[in-house]
Amino acid sequence: MAVSRKKRFYNRVRRTCKLHDIEIRYDGSPKMYRGVELLKDGQVMFADRALERKPLDINWEKLHEQLADYGYKGGVK
């Protein structure tokens, strides 16, 4: 995925989460994230986790589509 496309969907997910009070939680240290979770009221709604020992390449487009499928829309500038 191109960097500009990845950044576009990251911003959409971040804005949507901010609008609907959804927390974005990262597992691991920067540049070595093992997973990312979207939490609402302490419950994991969506997650993306690494299966191997390599750092996770977060698929923000997939997370954005999952949020939209569940009716969490908005936050797009």
Domain parsing of the chain, residue ranges = 3-69
> Across residues 11-30, what is the average pLDDT?
94
CB-count burial class (<10 Å; 0-12, 13-18, 19+) for 31: exposed
Contact call for residues 36 and 26 (beta carbons, < 8 A): yes
What would the pLDDT profile of 36-52 be if each residue is shown by its tens digit? 999 999 999 999 999 98
pLDDT-derived band at 77, boundaries 50, 70, 90: low
Mean pLDDT of 6-29: 94
